[in-house]
Structure formats: C-alpha cells, structure tokens
Amino acid sequence: MPAPTLAPPPDQALILRGLGVDAARFVVEVVAECASTNDSIRTTDIAPDTALHVLIAHRQTAGRGRRGRSWESVQGQSLTFSCAWRLPNDASAPVALPLTVGLALAEAIESLGVSQLTLKWPNDVLLDGRKVAGILVEVTGSQTQRKAIIGIGLNLLRTHEYPLPDGATALSDHLPTAPEPETVLATILLRLDARLADHRKGGFTALREAWQQRDAFAGRQVSIRGDDIEHLGVCEGVADDGALLLRTGQTTTRILSGDVSLRAAT
Ligand code: BTN
C-alpha cells in the first residue's frame, strides 16, 4: 500500500520535550520502518534508571494484533509503538496489565480534549463506541528479569485515501484540528508511566474501579468467543486479577481470554 507523502516520522526531540522534567525516565527511539515494534524491542535491555524504553515505528510492515491477527496501519495516519517495562518479580500471569494500559490510554486521550472514551475488555480503547486504539501485551525475558512488551496502535487521522476499517475511528474525527503525533505520544507515555507505577505498587486492584467506570459493556448481554468455546452472558465487570466476570443465570464465570461482542437481543 503506498504511503501518503505528507507525514514525516514523529520527531524524537519534540517527544522528549513533551515529556518535560520526566524525560530522563524514558528512552525513546524512532525508526522509519520495522516489521513489528513488539518484535524489534523484544531483546532490548531496559537500563536500570529507565522506567519505559519506547520504540516508535513510522511504518510497520508486519504489525501484529491480538490472537494472531495482523495489524494494518498507514504511516502518518496512526501511531505504532511498543514500550518495554520491567515486570514486578511477583507478577505471575499479568492478565490485568492490558487493562491498566487501556485505562492509561483512555485517560491520556481524554486529557487531549476528547470525551466518550470507554474500554472493551481486555484491551481495546473505544471512542464513541468505535475502536480508536488496540493493545498487544506480551511477556518475555528470563525468570529473574521478566519484561512486558506493551504494543499500542492508535488511529490518529482519517484520510480519504486510506479509510479506516469498519467499527474504527480516529482522534481527528473528534478534535477540531489534527493532533500533533509528538504531543499525543508524550501525553500517553506520561500517563502510562504513572499508571504502570500504580500497577507496580498495588497491582490492578487499586485501578479496578477506574477501569469499571469506563467499561463499555457493563451490564450488557455479550458473547465471548475463546479458542474453541463461546460464552453468553451479562458482563458484571472485572476481578482484581483482570478476569472478566460473566453471569449466566445464577453462575458467574471468570473469563481470562477471548473476544467480546454484543449479543443481538432475542
Ligand atoms: C489489537 O487490537 O489486536 C492489538 C493491536 C496492537 C498493534 C500494535 S502496533 C505497535 C505494536 N506492534 C505490533 O506489531 N503490534 C502492536
């Protein structure tokens, strides 16, 4: 797919400026192209005094989404980046980490002047009910030093040349002027750093209420498709460990992975 000619890659110096006094907590790299930022950052060592090591790609040639799907994006039209974060040593299966990341993303985007941000379990950010950002969290590293690779794809612009997929939206649909990528990135990184620090201190428990206030599907009939099973029920929020709580009749089931969609009323 040919790229629009206008957009230059995000400017690393402007991102660092946007991070202000906290810039020293981050390492920020910008590359013109890579296959997938999640794959490229996988072997990066996080320096001891770095909170988040960030890799931003202007263009991804093999971007990956959840559950083995591909993530298509057009350079300049979206942000594609990954952050390497040291996992707390006691974090077993970090099911809740994508929820913390989604919350941080929603809060950051809201602070740019956009409202109607909600969260779709486990890791989509919705704007006015449409997907504006997706998150792919993967865990890697040795048993003693594990790290989370937090991949984020965010739709910045809608253009005539490259329309967004059905059910998707872009920040530019909701703002009077197109957002500067560097401002958006710095805003997200600062909020992500703050929410990850909360997560490191107290796990997802302390963030659960804030997540549930943005839950797009709370109290709604949904269908959840896992690898080889479909659950039907009503969303009852999330547990402290990030599991989705689904009520079917008198039973509440804990769901740890799957795709949620609204179930048509019968
Ligand atoms: C999803 O909604 O399925 C998750 C999409 C995650 C896409 C981002 S783009 C940056 C990072 N690199 C990848 O290959 N994927 C993530």
Q: Is 242 helix (H, G, I), strand (E, B) or coil?
A: coil
Question: DSSP code of 50?
Answer: -
- Kindly state if the Cβ of 155 falls inside 6 Å of ligand 1: no
What tens digit of pLDDT does each residue of 6-46 get? 588 999 999 999 999 999 999 999 999 999 999 999 999 99
201 catalytic per annotation: no
Who has greater pLDDT, 73 or 33?
33
What tens digit of pLDDT does each residue of 189-236 get? 999 999 999 999 999 999 999 999 999 999 999 998 877 788 899 999
Pocket-testing residue among 80, 140, 189, ligand 1, by greatest number of atoms within 8 A of Cβ: 80
Pocket-testing residue among 59, 71, 121, ligand 1, by greatest number of atoms within 8 A of Cβ: 71
Q: How far is the CA of 65 from the centre of ligand 1 (A)?
A: 5
Angle between helix 181-202 and 12-19 (nearest 10): 50
- Over the range 97-135, which residues count as b (16 or more CB within 10 Å of their CB) and which as e? bbbbbbbbbbbbbbeeebeebbbbbbbbbbbeebbbbbb
What are 9-13's contacts with CB under 8 Å, separation 24+? 9/56, 9/58, 9/75, 10/56, 10/58, 10/79, 10/181, 10/182, 10/185, 11/182
- Kindly state if the Cβ of 168 falls inside 6 Å of ligand 1: no
Cα angle 22, 16, 37; round to 5: 105
Locate the ligand 1 atom nearest the alpha carbon of residue 81 and give its number: 10
Q: Whose CA is nearest to atom 16 of ligand 1?
A: 151
Question: CA-CA distance, 161 to 212, in Å (whole number)?
Answer: 37
The predicted pLDDT at position 206 comes to 93
Q: How far is the CA of 265 from the centre of ligand 1 (A)?
A: 31
The predicted pLDDT at position 1 comes to 47
